[in-house]
Structure 1
Amino acid sequence: MRSLSPSPLQELDDERARRAGVRLLLKRDDLLHPPVSGSKWRKLQPNLERARPTGLLLTFGGAYSSHLRAAAAAGREAGLRTVGIVRGDELRGRELNPVLTQAAADGMELEFISRSAWRSRMEPEALAVWRDRYGPAWVVPEGGSNADGVRGCVSLGEELRDIGAGLVVCSVGTGGLLAGLAAGLGPDQRALGFAALAHADLAEETRALQREAFGGVRGHWTVDAEAAVFGGYGRRAPEVDAFRGDFEGRHGVVLDPTYEAKLLCALFARLQAGGVAHGTTVVAVVAG
């Protein structure tokens, strides 16, 4: 399966970073494997291999889940059958939005479940129902964040070991990317994850994923639980939209509004406030 590995680094010529005394680079993981791209590709690769014995990968996501879209595309390319369990049974029978339309076009079978059923989706009884209905499957949680997905993201940190970066920042939705990234960085590097949502303890979820993947917590990392939430997951804040448009105009990079636009908006605010030491090389992961 094709991929552009390692993903490219793009140095930003931005006076805001210069004023802060910081060298700023983007890790363009969004270019890693179009249309899967980024952390989704790193998380899905090992899970696709796990699914080969049965030929079926079953996973979960919301109505606008980029993970479902990515899993469908990756599964099609790998010659695997994919099933997506979608949160929100009120969507059943309605016209599909563009994300789910693309997932279906790539062959994903979609099933819509109630929000109450969603809460127990990974319980053994629920998984048994899915397997009875669709057949033996390799099950991947939403976001691709399981032990295999975490180990797949270690390569991201390893690709950044030798570039002199003291700080690597990323957006955190489920903790899988941060868990693997931090484990792959060098001993003198640290990772900072900016939470994209406020209704989960993402630091604890990241620790739990590292324990599952590696048997213990690895790397130097922290989670900023507040700076990049901007009203909640999936919500659009005027200041973030303005930042996103300005950033595209300056650097020609279109940022995902749910994750990377909030991440970089919060990062530049931190730089302006003197929250990063002068002379630091910072890498921001654009996960796609």
Structure 2
Amino acid sequence: MSFAGSFVSLSASEGFVAPGPSSFDLPPVFTVAGVGITKPMLLLFLAAIAVFWFFYAASRKRAMVPGKLQFAGESMYSSVRNGLGRDIIGSKDFRPFVPYLVTLFFFILVSNWFGSIPFIQFPTFSRASMAYALAGLSWVIYNGVGIRRHGFGGYLKLQTVPSGVHGPILALIVPLEFFSNLLVRPVTLALRLFANMFAGHILALLFATGGEYLLLHASTVVKPVGILAWVMAIAIAFLELLVQFLQAYVFTLLNAMYISGALAEEH
């Protein structure tokens, strides 16, 4: 059942109930070995399968003169490879990270776009736990890359001691840099993705359910406001398509920047 349907049935009996964080706490679809499998969990698997299938199908029958599917796959791969890999990390070091960046971008993009697909209508990363899990994976990767390149002590110095800074001021700078570069980054990385997906979807939900409630239960004088609310819901839905793309791009871009910073010789 969609969010709108559940809210309308509730609103009809108790008056309009505005959507909130509890709207995203969906019951399990089914249970396996005592573990409830929820809709967001299923969407994660569906997004992974969709991304894998697309690139597998696009590359399965490679030809010198590409067909439409191969051309689409190569164009999408190249845009991330060149624009987010080579241009950010650098032509010397970017190649090992291209598969990760490509997978990351399209996995987030598909997961975000689920929020705009009828009958699915749920952006997976509007659940904070999933956004923080992905940010945690990114944290492990770029810190692991830096430690492998510079050693633990060298990487720690790179991330906490800016080049050209000396003297007593380091007593203030080093803790701030440690906190900013090593502890806060995954939090802000996840929060940016989660907050945008959560806020956009709950705003669209508010206009959609509120408009429907006004049309069905409000007085004749107020009903035109319900139509206006639906128009706003449609406008927000189109805006969300852009936001969903931008958040996938920004998340991947920041990952590339963090990897570049971990590999750099100076901070």
Same fold (TM over 0.5): no
Q: TM-score, normalised by structure 1?
A: 0.24
Larger RCO (CA under 8 A, 6+ residues apart)? 2
Q: TM-score, normalised by structure 2?
A: 0.25
Larger of the two Rg values belongs to structure: 2
Q: Larger helix proportion, structure 1 or 2?
A: 2
